[in-house]
Amino acid sequence: MQVQINTDKNIDGNERLVSFYTSEIERELAHFDDKITRVEVHFKDENSDKISKNDKTCVFEVRIAKKEPLVVTEQADTVEKAFSGAVGKMKRLLKSTYEKMQQY
């Protein structure tokens, strides 16, 4: 599974951030590892330095071999909460997608 982390200009995409979220993705999606070819995560801060509710966005895209990409989005007041929410949504989506694939 290839993992790519992207940030906008308002979020520092340093090596520590990339390393942490890459390991979290690998751990959280380990059950689906043999089916996933690529994971892309995009972090955005909608309001830059201004403080507002739910201004951090995490877009989580998973590519499965020979299938259309699966995409979920989560907004929260911190990058960590947005990531956590997006991972939870993606795990539920992957589970239901694989259950449907097994029926055919």
| Amino acid 87: pLDDT | 97
User: What tokens appear for 42 in the block?
Assistant: 């995009």
Which residue type is seen at 10?
A: N
CATH number at residue 32: 3.30.160.100
Distance CA 62, CA 44 (A): 18
Q: Which pLDDT does position 12 carry in this prediction? A: 85
Strands 36-45 and 56-64: antiparallel
Q: What is the pLDDT of residue 53?
A: 75
For residue 78, give its domain range.
Answer: 2-103
Q: State the Cα–Cα distance between residues 2 and 77, nearest whole angstrom.
A: 28
Number of domains in the chain: 1
- Percent of the chain, pLDDT > 70? 94
Q: For the whole model, what pTM was predicted?
A: 0.88
Task: Dump pLDDT digits (tens) for 47-98.
Answer: 766 666 778 999 999 999 888 999 999 999 999 999 999 999 999 999 999 8
